């Protein structure tokens, strides 16, 4: 039983490490949008962080394949790792598009959407730190609710931003650029919610 517990703890630790890397990615992206200078350097750093997150996801997949014991279904861990990776993939995609699209100035809506994403990322970090204690307290359930609340708030902002974009932007090229950027930011926040929802299913399954 001690060996089993140790193996389960390894998975919880891998997920905690992954959530920590996602926080780093979120902070780097937040710095980019809040201080939109040295853009190419910051975008290059985002790529480095995104690659590190990919490696962490692969590390979790390798652990799934190598282990006979997991704290919950392998399919659930696989989905969680994939969605965690998707959070960063979307942020790196946006950062890259700032350069590719030659974006000179950021729209306030993009900055606000980034705030929502960072809030959700930090809530997920707390969630993962307490995931192994899910049967002892309600922290995980409370974090799931909070991530969903943030996503709902972000969804309203996304719709409002798109409506304003299509109403006010007269340059079709700019419209296409910002539609894509807003969509990718929304994807990142959606992935935060997807992670929380998968964990909610796991919690229900093993309650």
Give pLDDT tens digits for 53-74: 999 999 999 998 888 778 888 8
pLDDT at 10: 86
pLDDT at 3: 42
Reported as a pLDDT band with limits 50, 70 and 90, residue 19 is very high
Q: Angle, nearest 10°, between helix axes 74-100 and 172-205?
A: 160
Question: Cα(102)–Cα(78) distance, rounded to whole angstroms?
Answer: 36
Whether the per-residue pLDDT at 6 is higher than 80: the answer is no
What's the mean per-residue pLDDT of the chain? 93
Give pLDDT tens digits for 166-186: 999 999 999 999 999 999 999
Question: Cα(81)–Cα(18) distance, rounded to whole angstroms?
Answer: 8
* Percent of the chain topping pLDDT 90: 83
Question: Cα(98)–Cα(40) distance, rounded to whole angstroms?
Answer: 9
């Amino acid at each position: 039983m001690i060996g089993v517990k140790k193996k389960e703890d390894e998975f919880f630790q891998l997920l905690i490490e992954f959530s920590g890397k996602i926080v780093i990615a979120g902070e780097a992206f937040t710095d980019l949008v809040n201080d939109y200078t040295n853009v190419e350097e910051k975008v290059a750093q985002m790529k480095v962080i995104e690659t590190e997150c990919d490696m962490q996801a692969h590390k979790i997949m390798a652990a799934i394949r190598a282990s006979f014991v997991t704290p919950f279904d392998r399919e659930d861990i696989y989905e969680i790792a994939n969605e965690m990776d998707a959070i960063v993939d979307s942020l790196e995609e946006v950062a890259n598009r700032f350069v590719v699209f030659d974006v000179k100035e950021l729209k306030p809506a993009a900055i606000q959407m980034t705030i929502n994403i960072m809030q959700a990322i930090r809530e997920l970090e707390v969630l993962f730190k307490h995931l192994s204690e899910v049967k002892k307290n309600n922290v995980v359930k409370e974090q799931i609710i909070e991530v969903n609340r943030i996503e709902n708030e972000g969804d309203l902002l996304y719709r409002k931003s798109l409506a304003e974009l299509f109403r006010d932007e007269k340059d079709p090229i700019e419209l296409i650029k910002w539609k894509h950027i807003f969509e990718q930011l929304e994807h990142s926040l959606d992935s935060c919610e997807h992670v929380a929802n998968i964990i909610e299913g796991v919690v229900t399954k093993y309650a």
